[in-house]
Amino acid sequence: MTSAPDLSDLIREGRAGRLSQPDFARAFAETRILVLLATPAEGDSVQPLVLELPNGEPAVAAFSGPGAVVDDYLQAAPHPIAMTGRELLEMLPEGVGLALNPGQEHSLPIEPDEVRLFGFVALSPASAPDDAAGAPAEPAGGPEDTAHGDAAAPEGAPSREQ
């Protein structure tokens, strides 16, 4: 690819059926995203904004850019950092999902049990078989059923350890 895809565009293309689930996952790995931190990053340790998915499970919020961030989220976690989807997937602890562009029209929650498979496909070479795995399906309620839950980072929020 010549330039990294935009997260909103990826979600839109995937929902329209113009991007396969494995291609979505691989493109996400190359996408530049914005992650909000509750405190400034210190070394390899970060405390990202963790929201509650509709099913009650925790998810790290990731945004396509500053324009996609809801003000309430900035108040809870006022320190933005840019990274790739690959970097986020590599630091995400087990048991934590993703909330992609929460609060926006083109958003996508990925539950913790789906993140492991999503990350495997996203971090695999493009030559891996497309039918091996895929990105999560759209939630039953559609795009509006995204992570609009508690914007405060819970105790034991994920920290980056490399």
Q: What does the pLDDT look like over 102-140, one tens digit per residue?
A: 999 989 999 999 999 999 999 988 754 544 444 444 443
Give the per-residue pLDDT at 101: 97
**Residue 37 Ramachandran class (φ > 0 left, ψ -120 to 50 alpha, else beta):** beta
Q: Could you give the percent of the chain with pLDDT greater than 70?
A: 76
Q: Is 18 inside a domain boundary?
A: yes
Q: Which domain holds residue 26?
A: 7-121
CATH of the domain at 17: 3.40.1350
Average pLDDT, the chain: 81
Q: Is 63 inside a domain boundary?
A: yes
**Residue 9 Ramachandran class (φ > 0 left, ψ -120 to 50 alpha, else beta):** alpha
Q: Is 37 inside a domain boundary?
A: yes
Kindly state the DSSP code that residue 52 receives in the 8-state scheme.
Answer: E
Q: How many domains does the chain have?
A: 1
Stated pTM of the model:
0.75
Has residue 12 got a pLDDT over 80?
yes
Give the per-residue pLDDT at 1: 44
Give the per-residue pLDDT at 57: 97
